[in-house]
Chain A
Amino acid sequence: MRTVKHVTCPVCGCLCDDLELTIKDEKVVKVKNGCALCKAKFLGYSKHRVLKPLVRKNGRFFEVSYEEAVSRAAEILTEANYPLLYGWSMTSCEAVSAGIELAEEIGGVIDTTSTLCHGPSTLGIQDVGISSATLGQVRHRADLIVYWGSNPLIAHPRHMERYTIFRKGRFQKEKRKLIVVDVRKTETAETADIFLQIKPNMDYEVLQALRALIRDQELDVDEVAGIPTERLEEIADTMVECRFGALFFGSGLTMTRGKNRNIDAVLSLVSDLNKLTKFIAMPMRGHFNVTGADMILTWQTGYPYAVDFSLGYPRYNPGETSAVDILLREESDAALVVASDPVASLPRKAAEHLAENPLIVVDPHMSATARMADVVLPSTFVGIESGGTAYRMDHVPLPLKKIVEPPEGILSDEEILRIILSEVKRKKAEQMENP
């Protein structure tokens, strides 16, 4: 038995780095400090593993060597006219970096699960900017917390305990005020001082109304999205009167009608509030390294997700170069999925085209997507069986640790991608010689 301390949790965007794990016979047997999701991952990850590379022949999977699987994968990718490389939010920055180079080499489109969570938030930021901060800043200073369209008690279980409601800070010893805005009374809403239950698809109207109210504009209407105007005035006053406000928003805003414009409005509201007090906003990023994938794509290509290399240089235009749109238009002719399960998470029509493509899946599990694959390359669990770097939702980078040995012979995402890349380069050089 041994213990490992200060472990970073590879589950959600909170990226708690204070876990203490007990290891027995190269298995995690005890998790200290972790939430339910964290415990589920560390104690349950080793089930339903794929332990041998698989290649589909005549509709059936056959176990093969990594060499054979990689060779087949490289063949698929080299031949493709418009390959899609999707996933990336549940692996290390180092693996993403290899993925970007691969996408560039084969003239593909690389997109992350941002596209399905906070892609619209990025579009909002690109239109109006964002006033934000690291989570410690919130912890030390905020006296007002707003969760809008997000349910941290479920999706980010330790967010409130580590950074907001249940934690004291240097300048904030008293209890903070909590406002929750949602379409139903979530677990988080139950703990709120103020809960605004608004009609679905009406967030934009509420946000704009608040913006007008903090400018002391009068509204011509008596209610917005089911909320009386006087009540909105009270909320506006509460926001203006705080010393430091922090608004966290989730997919309740990005996935509903208005999408990126809801975020545009939320960020504009927060920006406006800075004329009167201090206010910050932050997207509640879901997967543990979706922020890191955005970051590394941004510094290597200039763009955070949905990057299209088909013309030999990076281009970006979600709606045009994003995964779901490409799949719905049936444009791709090959796909590589890393650390994600799009067949289980994309709308069916998009998933259908993905499955029709020659499909390569790099994943430790037999996921729904792996079930559809032509090549399955089993990999290690990043943050458990291999290390690397990940970014917390507030852009703080943290180390992922290798805690236990992976099953014998199993490679990491990064290693697999690097060998695919070199195999692709080899095949391309070969083609140059014998066209």
Chain B
Amino acid sequence: MMNLYPTKKFRFPITAECISPDVFQDKKIEEIRRLTVWEGNKQRILGELFKVKESESETKMVVINIHGDVSRVRRIGAYMTSGQIVIYGNAGMHLGEEMEGGEIIVRGNVGCWAGSMMKGGKIEIYGNAGNYLGAPYRGVNKGMRGGEIVVHGNVGNEAGAYMRRGVIKVYGNAGQFAGLRMQNGTIYVQKDCEARVGACMKDGKIIVSGFLESVLPTFTIEGLKEKVKIENDETAEGPFYLFLGDTAEDGKGKLYVSKTKNPHLNRYEKLL
């Protein structure tokens, strides 16, 4: 088990995609200290920016613990395929970008593009996540293709944009454009959601259990549902309005919105 302690409060962006179980695997602590990282435009070694300490571990799995604020450190766990990263503090942008397996746990907040384009594995965030959770890089039309992201706090805009598979669960609030252009998969928002949920979605499922500011005019009411399955044995209790859309792109995505939390939507009932 490797433990990383930031040696200072970082001011410049730190790029450190080497902080990944796949990279640490089979490396001696000295080699890990010598891994390349960037601080602004200066090339450094990991050992300059972090105190690296090894500790006993019960599992064979590679585990990296980061103790402290790494909110300026970008790309932690990018491309990882196995092992575990636990961050006791806030983490920076692109956490777990394109990860394929393993697990990242953050006991704090994370920056934007967490789990961007991920294919597998799990990210669990106990604080808030920024914009573009699980969403792809600019111009890319393939978002999350598998795996699971759980956020206990709030998320920013465009969570799950271009999602093709997988699950995002948000136990707090979500920003605008959640599930933009999603094609499949599931997004669950336990609390409130800003407008434009499911914009341009083609297929897939979005569940909003809290207040939803407004439904896009291009969604049509389909019915009422008592409860909706999120994944495996987890269900969200309704009743829910079921909308289909986005008709602007001839989509047939399903948008479930809590009936009780959204009295302003009861005008749709006359269309049922």
Contact = CB atoms under 8 A, between A and B. Distances in A.
Q: Do A and B bind each other?
A: yes
Interface of A: 80-83, 106-108, 123, 126-127, 204-205, 208-209, 211-212, 215, 217-221, 224, 257-258, 261, 264-265, 268, 309-312, 316-320, 330-331, 333
A212 B247 contact: yes
A107 B41 contact: yes
Interface residues of B, number: 40
B250 interface: yes
23 contacts: A81-B12, A81-B42, A82-B41, A126-B139, A205-B196, A208-B200, A208-B217, A208-B218, A217-B247, A220-B217, A224-B217, A257-B176, A258-B196, A261-B196, A265-B248, A268-B249, A310-B13, A311-B38, A311-B41, A319-B132, A331-B11, A331-B13, A333-B12
A204 B248 CA distance: 12
Nearest to A321: B13
Contacts of A204: 196, 199
Q: What is the predominant secondary structure among interface residues of chain A facing chain B?
A: loop
B129 interface: no
A317 B13 CA distance: 14
B218 A219 contact: yes
A208 B268 CA distance: 19
Contacts of B38: 310-311
Given A310-B13, A331-B11, A205 B93 contact: no
Nearest to A310: B41
Interface string B200-211: 100000000000
Interface string B118-137: 00000000000001100001
B41 A319 contact: no
Contacts of B49: none
Contacts of A106: 41
B120 to A, nearest CB: 23
Given A127-B141, A310-B40, A331-B13, 9 more contacts: A81-B11, A127-B138, A208-B199, A209-B248, A218-B220, A219-B218, A261-B180, A268-B248, A310-B38
A237 B138 CA distance: 33
A345 B10 CA distance: 29
A288 to B, nearest CB: 27
Given A215-B248, A311-B38, A320-B93, A220 B221 contact: yes
Nearest to B181: A127
Interface in B70-84: 72, 74
Nearest to B41: A107
Nearest to A319: B112
Contacts of A320: 74, 93, 112-113
Nearest to B248: A211
Nearest to B94: A320
A208 B216 contact: yes
B146 to A, nearest CB: 22
Given A126-B138, A261-B177, A310-B13, A205 B216 contact: yes
